[in-house]
Amino acid sequence: MTVHQFNTGRDDELAVRPADCGLGHACQFCPKEPECTLDKPHHEKRLLELRLAQIGQIILVMANKGGVGKSTVSANLAAGLAARGFRVGVADADIHGPNQSRFFNQVGQRVRVSERGLDTLSCFGDRLPHPVQVGSLAFMMERDDTPIVWRDAYKHDFMHHLIGSFDWGPLDFLVVDMPPGTGNELITLSDLLEQQAVAAVIATTPQQVALMDSLKAIRFCQERGLPLLGVVENMAGVTCPHCGGEFQLFPRAHLAEALAEHRVASLASIPLSPLLAMASDSGAPVTMDQPESPEARAFAPVVDACIEHARQESRQAASEELQALVTANAEELEALLSDVPEEDRAQARRDLEALLAGEHDRLNPERNDDR
C-alpha cells in the first residue's frame, strides 16, 4: 500500500484514513478488482457503515426449526409495515431457501450491479406508499433451482454482501428473514449489527418439537442481549370452511407456560389457512393484499410491536443525544447563566433544568409510567 492511498480523516484532523473509490458495490463485483490497489477491507467496511447509517430499525425474524412459516411471517410483517406508510426492506438471509422472491412475486428476476451497488427489487410501488425493497440471493443465482453448497466462509461473506452490497437506500425498517437455527449466519449478522437498533421476532408452531427448538432461539437472544419482541405462533388452528368450527391440526405444546417462564411475549397466533398459502404462492402478502381478512388482522399485533419498539428506540436515542449535547456544552450553558443578573440566576437555572427534564420525560413516556 502506498502513501497516496491515504487522506486526512474529517472528524479527527490527525487521523489518516485509507482512500476509498466511493463505489457502492463490493470488490467482488468490481471490474477493476484485478488491478485495484486500494484498501479493499476498508471499502467493504465503509459500504456497511454507509448502508447501516440509512436504516432505522432492523427486525430479525428467526426460527430454530425449518418449516414453521418464518418466511411467511417475514413477508407479511414487511408488507404490513409498508402498508402503514413505512419505508421497508426485506433482506432474505435464508441462504438454503431464499424464497422471498416468491412471496413478493419476483421469481426469475435477476439483480443488476451498478456503481451504487446491487439493485434491490422494488415491489408493489403502485399499491403502497413506498415500495418494499427486496434483496435476496435468489436474484444472484443463474437458475432458481440451483442448490447452495457453501462452506461457512462463503456464508459469512454473503451476510456482509446482503447488508453492505445491496443498495437499500433510506429505510425505516429492514426485516431480515433469517435461516433456521442459531448457526453461522445468525452469529455473523448479530456481530455485524451489534451497534444497530436491532430486535428479534421468533416464529414457531404449536408442536412440542418446534417449541423445544424455539426455546433455543429465545436463549440465544437472551444470552446475546438481543431485544426479543416476542413469539409468533404460526399454524395455530384451522377453521373448517364448511361448518366454521375451529380445530387444532397439531398436538399443542404448552407454549403459553413456556413463554411466561422465559418472560417472552406471545405476539400473535396465525391460523393455518388456504388464503395464506395462496397469497404466498401468488406473491401478494395478505397484510397488503387483503388487509381486512382474519389472517391479515392476526398479523397486526406483530406489526404494532415492531412499530412501538422502533419508536421507543428512537426516543431513547434522542434522549441520549440530548443528554450528550448538554454535557458537551455544559461550559457554554454555565457561561450563558453567568450573563443572567445574579438575582435571577437561580430561577434561570431551575427553568433550564425543568425544560430539560420535561424534554426527557417527553422522550421517555414509559419511564414516567414506571415511577
Does residue 21 bind ligand SF4 (CB under 6 A)?
A: yes
C-alpha cell at 332: 457554554
In the complex with ligand SF4, the residue whose CB is nearer, 40 or 130, is: 40
Does residue 318 bind ligand SF4 (CB under 6 A)?
A: no
The Cα diameter of the chain in Å comes to 83
In the complex with ligand SF4, the residue whose CB is nearer, 30 or 249, is: 30
Query: Cβ 30 to ligand SF4, closest distance in Å?
Result: 3
Query: Which of 19, 30, 48, 140 touches ligand SF4 by CB under 6 A?
Result: 30
Does residue 27 bind ligand SF4 (CB under 6 A)?
A: yes
Between CA 342 and CA 118 the distance in angstroms is: 62
Does residue 115 bind ligand SF4 (CB under 6 A)?
A: no
Does residue 226 bind ligand SF4 (CB under 6 A)?
A: no
**Residue spans of beta strands (DSSP E) within the chain:** 6-8, 16-18, 55-62, 88-92, 113-114, 117-118, 121-123, 132-136, 171-177, 198-204, 228-233, 238-239, 246-247, 266-269
State the CB neighbour count (10 A cutoff) for residue 363.
19
Stretch that binds ligand SF4, among 20-28, 66-74, 267-275, 299-307 (CB under 6 A): 20-28
142 Cβ contact list (under 8 Å, min separation 6): none
In the complex with ligand SF4, the residue whose CB is nearer, 23 or 298, is: 23
Between CA 248 and CA 253 the distance in angstroms is: 11
Q: Please report, as residue ranges, which positions from 35 to 64 form the binding site for ligand SF4 (by CB under 6 A).
A: 36, 38, 40, 43
Query: Cβ 21 to ligand SF4, closest distance in Å?
Result: 3
In the complex with ligand SF4, the residue whose CB is nearer, 40 or 349, is: 40
Half-sphere CA count of 225, side-chain side, radius 13 A: 6
Between CA 360 and CA 367 the distance in angstroms is: 10
Query: Cβ 42 to ligand SF4, closest distance in Å?
Result: 8
**Residue 180 φ then ψ, to 5°:** -65, 150
Stretch that binds ligand SF4, among 19-27, 246-254, 276-284, 304-312 (CB under 6 A): 19-27
Stretch that binds ligand SF4, among 24-32, 102-110, 151-159, 298-306 (CB under 6 A): 24-32
172 Cβ contact list (under 8 Å, min separation 6): 56, 57, 81, 86, 87, 88, 310
Q: Which residues contribute to the site for ligand SF4 (CB under 6 A)?
A: 21, 23, 27, 30, 32-33, 36, 38, 40, 43
